[in-house]
Amino acid sequence: MAETLLEAMALTKVYRVGNHMVHALRGVDLTIERGECMAVVGESGSGKTTLGNLLLGIEPPSAGVIRFQDREMPAKRGRELRRCLQVVQQNPMSTLNPKRTIYKSVSLPLAVHNLVPRGEIRERAAELLRIVGLSPDYLDRYPGALSGGQRQRVALARALAAEPDCIVLDEPTSSLDVSVQARVLELLVELQQRFSLTYLFITHDLSVVRNISTRVAVLYRGRVVERGATESVFAAPRHRYTQMLLSSIPVVSEDEERIKPDWSWDKEMAGSDRVSEVGCAFFPRCPYVLDTCKSKLPILGDEDSEHLSACHNPG
């Protein structure tokens, strides 16, 4: 039986914007098993990064519980809990201090968490660069002297330096060229196998998800609308929003085009910002909407624990 490493239960986050309350997350339940890659997908504004920030402890939840290794995580986390959960963000140029050398960035977790004797820090930093495919000669360079792909490898080395159990990857390849993306993804798979890592992979790019994740959770307007094994979700998406996302993936062959879900695309529906507080949040954009969708909130069913969807009129 798989071991649960990280669990979110009824996770909710509300922000005050002027006189309005904005719900970024609404009762999200998510279980991440040790050694897997759980992908969280959705459009911009769906709550993906907010979820990652709550799990990392960067922000406190408005409601709900986060458990790590079957222990509830406090709002203020100690050094050991911060070490166990690391992050690699979208743009390494904004997360690496441009005035610090690569050595200072990679060695900081080693010193903060006392992971190696002081006299061995530089040797360990050089080893970490070799692990991510960079020469130790880069240690004395600054981030501005590196390419985007090289900087992302440095960010990975810094995350690995803390010897974490889980790494939150927040759009780690979206700012990279396609050819560089492929190499970084290959590296992520290699590192996961080598160090028995667990990933939470946050992205809007479903073509990336198909190649790296074991399970996927689809977020829409702060709610999980579908969750299941990646192969199952791609082969037979149940929620209409998931079908819309999959239908928009660019393909290069007729065979790939044939297996994509059909979608009755409507420009007015595509541009709708209307949010339902009563029924399904997706109904203003859905060509398959029923009266029930407008009046009753769908919840994730329990008929099949391996593949769930919150849709009154599933595909």
pLDDT at 175 over 80: no
pLDDT at 2 over 70: yes
What's the longest Cα–Cα distance across the chain? 69
Q: Give the per-residue pLDDT at 267.
A: 45
Residues shown for the chain: 315
- Report pLDDT digits (tens) over 22-46: 899 999 999 999 999 999 999 988 9
pLDDT class for 181, splitting at 50, 70, 90?
Answer: confident
Cα 80 from Cα 12, distance rounded (Å) = 25
Q: Give the per-residue pLDDT at 38.
A: 97
With residues binned 3-state (H G I as helix, E B as strand, rest as coil), the percentages for the chain, rounded to 5, are 40, 25, 40
Cα 169 from Cα 88, distance rounded (Å) = 5
Q: Give the per-residue pLDDT at 232.
A: 93
- Domains of the chain, first to last: 4-230 (3.40.50.300), 236-315 (no CATH)
Cα 106 from Cα 50, distance rounded (Å) = 26
What is the sign of the dihedral through the CA atoms of 300, 304, 305 and 308?
negative
Nearest 5°: CA angle at 305, between 301 and 307?
Answer: 80
Q: Give the per-residue pLDDT at 249.
A: 78
Cβ atoms of residues 218 and 225 within 8 Å? yes
pLDDT at 303 over 70: no
Residue 292 backbone phi and psi in degrees, to 5: -60, -35
Task: Give the per-residue SS3 of 32-52.
Answer: EECCCEEEEECCCCCCHHHHH
- Report pLDDT digits (tens) over 104-136: 999 999 999 999 999 999 999 999 999 999 999
Percent over 90 (pLDDT), the chain: 68
What is the pTM for the complete model shown? Answer: 0.92
pLDDT at 304 over 60: no
pLDDT class for 295, splitting at 50, 70, 90?
Answer: very high
In 93-197, DSSP assigns E strands to 166-170
Cβ atoms of residues 184 and 161 within 8 Å? no
Q: Give the per-residue pLDDT at 315.
A: 78
Q: Give the per-residue pLDDT at 253.
A: 61
Higher pLDDT pick, 175 / 136: 136
